[in-house]
Homo-oligomer: A and B are copies of this chain.
């Protein structure tokens, strides 16, 4: 299947990118290994080259490393293994994230806007944890920044303005659906204070919302190149939350 081929191409490129024997390269290599490569695969399907799709995955890896740090979400595990700071210490993990961000934007400067949105979205997410109540709109706006933004940027591969807008619309809706289905997977075990859509509007309403975003993405996909594949990928998200 073509998605697996795309994933393999990304794995190969990313796994052999940081070959240095120093500890920082080792930490970056560790953080880049594993994961579904969903953003990178979407980037490739949308027409980006491997290097550009790698930059998307590098921005994603940066955000995971920093989000996992003790002062942030304090997650000990990531991609089925100890998170970067558990394996290499906080200092090296912090620097590994910094390096991935810097080098990703060196490859693909157009990702800087999305990187800024991810960072701002993470600051809102942490603010919401301390807030007593958060509205559905506030939460979805945060999801748009923290999660959907990079999917949107990944898909925005075309240089033709009209087509690019369609790609962005697909990516945005895909990303929103992705975040909500992610919420549905583990919202019952989220840490105290963490705000998620199912927590705020209930599980069934959240499931309906995810389906709404999937449908928007699927309808947009029809107009795009590789539309059939993009449509399938969006529709598969629904199964994810079951």
Stretch at the interface among A6-14, A105-113, A166-174: A105-113
B101 touches A101 (CB 8 A): yes
Complex: chain B residue closest to A69, CB-CB? B94
How many copies of this chain sit in the oligomeric assembly?
2
B66 touches A123 (CB 8 A): no
A99-136 interface mask toward B, CB cutoff 8 Å, 1 = contact, 0 = none? Answer: 10111011001001101100110111011000000000
Chain B contacts for A124, CB-based, 8 A: 22
| CA distance in complex: A122, B91 (Å) | 10
B103 touches A116 (CB 8 A): yes
Contact of A71 (CB < 8 Å), options: B72, B94, B112, B123: B94
Complex: chain B residue closest to A106, CB-CB? B112
Complex: chain B residue closest to A98, CB-CB? B119
A127 touches B23 (CB 8 A): yes
Q: How many residues of A contact B (CB 8 A)?
A: 34
Chain B contacts for A95, CB-based, 8 A: 66, 119, 122-123
Contact of A123 (CB < 8 Å), options: B23, B69, B105, B115: B23
A113 touches B106 (CB 8 A): yes
| CA distance in complex: A23, B128 (Å) | 12
Interface residues of A in 61-113 (CB under 8 A from B): 62, 66, 69, 71-72, 89-92, 94-95, 97-99, 101-103, 105-106, 109, 112-113
Chain B contacts for A71, CB-based, 8 A: 89-91, 94
Q: State whether the Cβ of A233 lies closer than 8 Å to any Cβ in chain B.
A: no
Chain B contacts for A115, CB-based, 8 A: 98, 102, 106
Chain B contacts for A24, CB-based, 8 A: 119-120, 123
Contact of A91 (CB < 8 Å), options: B72, B102, B113: B72
Chain B contacts for A122, CB-based, 8 A: 95
Beyond A71-B91, A123-B22, A123-B92, whether A102 also contacts B105 by CB under 8 A is yes
Contact of A109 (CB < 8 Å), options: B66, B94, B105, B123: B105
Complex: chain B residue closest to A93, CB-CB? B71
- 9 A-B pairs with least C-beta separation: A106-B112, A71-B90, A109-B109, A102-B115, A105-B105, A24-B123, A71-B91, A99-B119, A98-B119
